[in-house]
Copies of this chain bind each other. A is one copy, B any other.
Amino acid sequence: MIRLFIPHDLSAGAELALDSGQSRYLAAVMRQAVGDELLLFNGRDGEWRATIGAVTKRGVAVRAETPVRPQAAGPDLDLIVALVKRGRLETIVEKAAELGARRVRPVVTERTNADRARVERLTAIATEAAEQTGRLDVPGIFEPVKLETLIAGWEAGRRLLFCDEAGEARPILDVLADEAAGPWSILIGPEGGFSPAERARLRALPYAVPASLGPRILRADTAAISALTLWQAALGDWRVAIAP
């Protein structure tokens, strides 16, 4: 069934006018008609079954019918990722949404070549991925900041999984086996790696845990997906068997 993320409040009987993009998607692309059902979520009120009430030139109107799932939050997991080429950054955002990250924070490091990200476009990618993957919220996509700025404002109690491709870190699954759930951030460096000064700075942070992602050189998108997967499997919401 089609799932849409909407900004409106959701309650029984609420009549909602969808925006032009979603109206076009439902009516023209998916050929939905009055009476057809869909699922709605807004990141606050859980998931609702809804029906299409009107399809007009001005757009599609839907009516929220019954709640299907209560709002639930996934783990408090940030993905901090050095700016990489646009296509790979878009892949990272799509996968971060599928893999349950709560936020994606692009950072500028010594060896990144860019200092901007198209946050609006990345948010649209995150939204579509959230709709398809079945989660009840959309990960927040932040404007890029310098790595040093992020460190300067670090939240007390948050751990940092520092994926250190330079090599002498312990295997990531061994590292995670010694850790506990809680607020975490995963840090993925740029394709050229962190500079020696950055590595020394990161390794000296009391909340940082360096970990190795195996013997091969990984592209940034692969490293991000692998680290998110291992964190979810070891400490996150992949640990629990799922009801059929």
**Which A residues form the contact surface with B (CB < 8 A)?**
91, 94-95, 98-100, 132-135, 166-174, 212-219, 222, 225-226, 229-230, 232-234, 237-244
Chain B residues with CB under 8 Å of A216's CB are: 98-100, 133-135
Whether A212 contacts B241 by the Cβ 8 Å rule is yes
Whether A229 contacts B225 by the Cβ 8 Å rule is yes
- Of A99, A216, A237, the most chain B CB neighbours within 10 A belong to A216
Closest to A237 in B: B215
Whether B238 contacts A167 by the Cβ 8 Å rule is no
Q: How far is the CA of A226 from the CA of B239 in the complex (A)?
A: 14
10 smallest beta-carbon distances between A and B, as pairs: A214-B238, A226-B229, A168-B244, A133-B216, A173-B233, A225-B225, A167-B242, A167-B244, A134-B217, A98-B222
Q: How far is the CA of A166 from the CA of B241 in the complex (A)?
A: 12
Chain B residues with CB under 8 Å of A94's CB are: 219
Whether A214 contacts B226 by the Cβ 8 Å rule is no
Chain B residues with CB under 8 Å of A171's CB are: 233, 238-241
Chain B residues with CB under 8 Å of A239's CB are: 171, 173-174
Given A99-B216, A167-B243, A173-B234, output 19 extra A-B contacts at Cβ < 8 Å.
Answer: A95-B222, A95-B225, A98-B216, A98-B218, A99-B222, A100-B214, A100-B216, A134-B217, A135-B216, A166-B244, A168-B241, A168-B242, A169-B241, A172-B233, A173-B238, A212-B238, A213-B238, A215-B238, A225-B229
